[in-house]
Amino acid sequence: MWTRQLSALNDDFKQEEKTGLLSPGQKTFHAKLVKLLMKWTPDPSLAPKEAFTLARSGFNDLREIRSLSVRKSASSLENAFTFMEDAFGEGQEMVIFITELTLDPDISAFISENGCERYFKYNKSLLIGSRRAEILAELDHDAIYSDASAYDF
């Protein structure tokens, strides 16, 4: 039964692909999904416990890969904070860094799901919205008046 469902899923995908409406990301996702499902689909002749063990091993492999990716990403984020603190302290560069992290949907989702103590510390202390507006206004002011001697008053 499962093999029929997997075959039907693959047929549906091929039909959608023919329409040309799938994005490259959707094509890649589906190809990976079908590959994983085929790999994890146990032989129907296996006993239920054996079939479950086979399917679970594939899931556990992916869980370990995800866990490693999360650890690497969290470490990279911590290294970025260390660099920012060492290079710029808590100045306007840190505000811009925190703002960019906040505005990026992927990074924001990662931080929401996995946390980042330093992000939350700076995000709270820098009051992103109002502080960012002040800094941008200051930068605009500096750009306008950086060569004030060129203007006749």
Provide the token pair at 145.
Answer: 């008046």
- The residues spanned by each domain of the chain are 70-147
**C-alpha dist (Å) from residue 149 to 51, 68, 138, 140:** 80, 56, 19, 17
Name the DSSP class of 44: T
Query: Amino acid identity, residue 137?
Result: A
- Please report which confidence band the pLDDT of residue 148 belongs to, taking 50, 70 and 90 as the band edges: low
Highest mean pLDDT among 11-20, 48-57, 64-73, 131-140 belongs to 64-73
Rounded CA gap, 31 and 25, in Å?
10
The predicted-structure confidence for 100-135, as pLDDT tens digits, reads as follows 999 999 999 999 999 999 999 988 876 655 655 666
SS3 (DSSP) at 20? coil
